[in-house]
Chains A and B, each alone.
Chain A
C-alpha cells in the first residue's frame, strides 16, 4: 500500500509504501474496538522478519479500549515503534485479527509497490494476545502535526535561539529584526528534539481506533473496483487518505465486509463508527445519457472524415457532439483546439486558415511591440501591477508537465510572454491569477506562441466558464449552479439551505469553476472535461453540470454526516485529484439529458441552454419557463430578456 500525504497532492504524488495492519479486539468493554495501524515499510525493510515474528510489535502504540473511553480521539506523536517481542499465544481476553497487505518479496526500492502491477496479497493472521493493559498511548496521523509545544505556558523558558536553522544570517540579528516577538508576549521555546522533520512525520506510525473515527470510506477509481482510496476522517475532520494505486482495495473491502463490526445493521445506534461507506464507481444505465457509449474517441480518421475537400468542417454540430461524448485523441488536440477555441471558424477552408494564421501572427507581433515600447514609467507601473505576479506564477505552473519541466526551460518564458501580451492587449482584464493555469495546457498542446495566444484569447472570451475579474460573472454562475442543485440534487441543496447563507455561497466549488476543474482532476481527465465543455453541446454551461455531478457522486457524505460549510470545503478539497473523472463526465452527461427532459424550467435557468444553438434541429430547445419569483429587483430576468429561447429559431446548418 502506498500512502500519499494530502499536502503533496498538488505537486505530483510522493509515494510512501506502508504496511497496514488492522486489529479488532473484543474486549470486556461494551464496545468493539477496531484498530488501524500503519507501519512504514522502511522500518520493516530494516527488519523484514519483524513482520512474521512480532505480531504484537505495535502494541505499545495502540489505543486500548477504555471502559469509559472518551469519545474523542487524542492525537499525539508516536514515533516508529521498536519491535516488541511479545510471546504469541499467551493469555487472552480478546481476539485480535491482524491483516497484512503483503507484496511478496520486498524490494529495496521504496517505489517497488508503484512499479509492480500485480495485486497485493493480503495475508490474515489470527492470534491471541494479552490485553489486560489499560489505555496507553494514543493515535497519531502524520497529517496532523502533533502538538510539540505542549507544556503549559508558564513553563516556557526564555527564547532559545537554538531553533533558528540558519544561525549565520539571522542569529545575531535576532533582536534587530524584531524577532524577539512581540514585547508584550510570552516567551517560549522548543527543543530541537521535539521538532520532527517532514520525513520523520511521514514515516511515523499511523494508528487509529476506527471505532473513534467519524468515517471510513472506500473510493474506487477504476471500474474493476481494485484501485482507489481509503479515506478515514477523524471526529476532528482530519483526513487520512491511503492510496491503492495498483490494486488490492477490493481485498481490503472484503476484509472489512467480513468484519462483524462493519456488517452490523447500519441503523443500529450502538455502532462505534458513524459511517462506513464504500463508494463504487458505478452509474446505473438510467443515470447515463441514452447516447452514452455510442461514440468512440475522435481519432485522426474520424477527424478527416468531418472535413470536406477544401478543409471546411460542414457539420460542426456533429463533430462537437462526437467530441462531447467520445473525447479527442490527444494527438489531435493541436489541430482541433483552435476550432473549439474559436481561433478558426469551423467553415473556414485550408487557405482561409492560413490567412487567419498569418494575419494573427502579425497582429500578435504588434501587441508584443506595443509592450516592448512602453516608456520607463509605464514599464515600472506594468511591472508592479502585472509582471511581478506573472513572473512568480509562471515558474509555479505545471512544472511537472514535460513541456515545462526543468530549470531554465524556454517554454516558461513563452508562457510568460503570452500572459504579458494578453494583459497589454486587454488592459481591462489584465492578469488574474489562474490564467497561467488555463494557458499552460493550451500552450503545451499548440506549441506555438502566436497560435497559443489566439487560442487563449478565444478561451478567455468565448467560453463562459473562465475566470473573470467581475463579481457579476461569478455570481451568475453560482446562481445557476444553486438552481441546478435545487432541481437535481435537492437533498444536498436543502442541506446547504439549512446551514444558512454562508453555505449557499458554495465556497467548495469556486475553484472548480475558476480553474475549470484543473486542480480537481489529473490532467488527462481535466482536459477531457475541458473538451466536453468547449463542445458547447446542448448547453453553454456544461461545467455546471460537472459540478452537480461531483456533488451527486461525492456529496452523500456531506448530507449523511451533516457537515457544516467549512467541513464541506474540507471534504471536497480532500477529494481533489482523487475523483474519478470519467465517472463524473458520464454522470454530468446524464444530468444534462435529464435537464433537457424537464418540460418546465424556472426562469432563473432560462439562459442555460440558449446560446449553444439548436443543433441539427430547426428550432431551439423550448421548455416552458416559469417565473420562480423572488427576484431581487422585482423583474424576472426571463421576461425582461428578449433573447430568451422561445424567440430563437436557428437555421439548419448544412444539409
Chain B
C-alpha cells in the first residue's frame, strides 16, 4: 500500500461556499452557519484510490477576504491543485474568479513550471435566481485555462465527489509524469528542478511563477 499526499487549495470570494464545500466533501454534512474563515483552515481526507494506492488530501480552506496579501503566497505554496469557487447567484463572485486564477498563477506553479491544475466550481445551482450564464462560464473556463468546470450545490450535495475525483485523476497523471521525469533525471544524475518536463514545457507557455 503506497500513500500519496496532495495539497488542494480552495479559493474564491467570501460566502461562495468554500468551507461548506470542504465540510460536505469531508464529512458529508451541511450547515448554514459556518463561521467565516479567518486566515486558513484545513481538512484532511483519505481516499482509497486503488487496491494498493491511498491518497491523502489536504484541503486548504483559504479565507475569501484575505487581508494581508503577502500571506496568500504562503497559503498557495506547494499546492498540487486548486479549486476556484463562485456563487451563481452573485455575478461579482464570478467576475472575480478570473482574478483569483490570475493571482494563483502569478504566485505559484508546479515544480515543472506548469500552472497548478485549477477547477472552476459554480456553487448554489439549487437556487432559482442566477446571474451567470453557462456560456459565460464555458468561455472563461477556456480563456483562462481551467481544466474543467461544473455547477454544484453544496447544500443539496450535488456534484461534490465528481469534481474532486476528477482533480485527483489530474493530479495522479501529473504525479506519474513527474515520477517518470524524476526517474529519468536520476539516471541522468542531474538536478530535476532545473529542467522542464519535455511535453509540457513546449506546449504551455512557461510560467513566471515563484516556482513554489
Query: Residues of A with Cβ closer than 8 Å to B?
Result: 5, 7, 10-11, 70, 72, 74-76, 144-145, 147, 149-150, 152-153, 159, 164-166, 169-170, 176-179, 181-182, 184-186, 188, 190, 195-198, 201, 236-238, 384, 388-389, 392-393, 395-397, 399, 432-434, 436-437, 467-471, 473-475, 502, 505, 507, 510-511, 514-515, 519, 566, 569-570, 573
Contact = CB atoms under 8 A, between A and B. Distances in A.
Contacts of A7: 23, 26-27, 29, 43
Given A147-B46, A198-B27, A181 B150 contact: yes
A606 B172 CA distance: 51
A393 B36 contact: yes
Contacts of A190: 161
A157 to B, nearest CB: 14
Nearest to B90: A388
Given A165-B157, A190-B161, A566-B58, A475 B42 contact: no
Contacts of A195: 28
B29 A515 contact: no
Contacts of A388: 15, 90, 92
Given A145-B26, A198-B27, A515 B46 contact: no
A507 B74 contact: yes
Contacts of B165: 149, 185-186, 188
B195 interface: no
Contact of B67 (A166, A198, A393, A469): A469
Given A198-B28, A395-B33, A238 B158 contact: no
A345 B42 CA distance: 43
B48 A519 contact: no
A166 B134 contact: no
23 contacts: A7-B23, A72-B3, A76-B48, A145-B28, A147-B46, A150-B47, A150-B48, A152-B51, A169-B126, A169-B156, A177-B151, A178-B138, A178-B151, A179-B151, A181-B159, A185-B148, A237-B44, A396-B33, A434-B67, A469-B67, A507-B40, A511-B38, A566-B7
A170 B40 contact: no
Contacts of A188: 162, 165
Q: Which secondary structure dominates chain A's binding surface?
A: loop
A392 B39 contact: no
B36 A434 contact: yes
Nearest to B159: A179
B150 A182 contact: yes
Interface in B48-66: 48-51, 54, 56, 58, 63-65
A464 to B, nearest CB: 15
Interface residues of B, number: 67
Interface in B19-40: 23, 26-29, 31-36, 38-40
Contacts of A72: 1, 3
Given A149-B47, A152-B51, A397-B35, A433 B14 contact: yes
Given A74-B1, A519-B35, A170 B169 contact: no
Given A433-B36, A570-B44, 9 more contacts: A147-B47, A149-B48, A169-B126, A170-B125, A177-B151, A181-B162, A475-B70, A505-B71, A514-B67
B50 A152 contact: yes
A136 to B, nearest CB: 17
Contacts of A519: 35, 38
B163 A181 contact: yes
Nearest to B3: A72
Contact of B31 (A11, A153, A165): A11
B69 interface: yes
Nearest to A395: B33
Contacts of B149: 178, 182
A10 B138 CA distance: 37
Given A179-B150, A201-B28, A511 B39 contact: yes
B45 interface: yes
A369 B145 CA distance: 47
A169 B157 CA distance: 13
A72 B3 CA distance: 10
Q: Which 6 A-B pairs have the closest CB atoms?
A: A182-B148, A147-B48, A510-B39, A150-B48, A181-B150, A177-B151
Contacts of A569: 40, 42
B49 to A, nearest CB: 8
Contacts of B56: 236
A479 to B, nearest CB: 12
A432 B68 CA distance: 11
A599 B148 CA distance: 61
B41 interface: yes
A235 to B, nearest CB: 10
A10 B34 contact: yes
Interface string B196-208: 0000000000000
Contact of A236 (B26, B44, B159, B169): B44
Contacts of B151: 177-179
A182 B166 CA distance: 8
Nearest to A473: B68
B94 to A, nearest CB: 13
Nearest to B40: A507
A468 to B, nearest CB: 7
A467 B92 CA distance: 25
B116 to A, nearest CB: 17
B206 to A, nearest CB: 24
Contact of A145 (B27, B38, B126, B147): B27
Nearest to B26: A145
Contacts of B90: 388
A570 B54 CA distance: 20
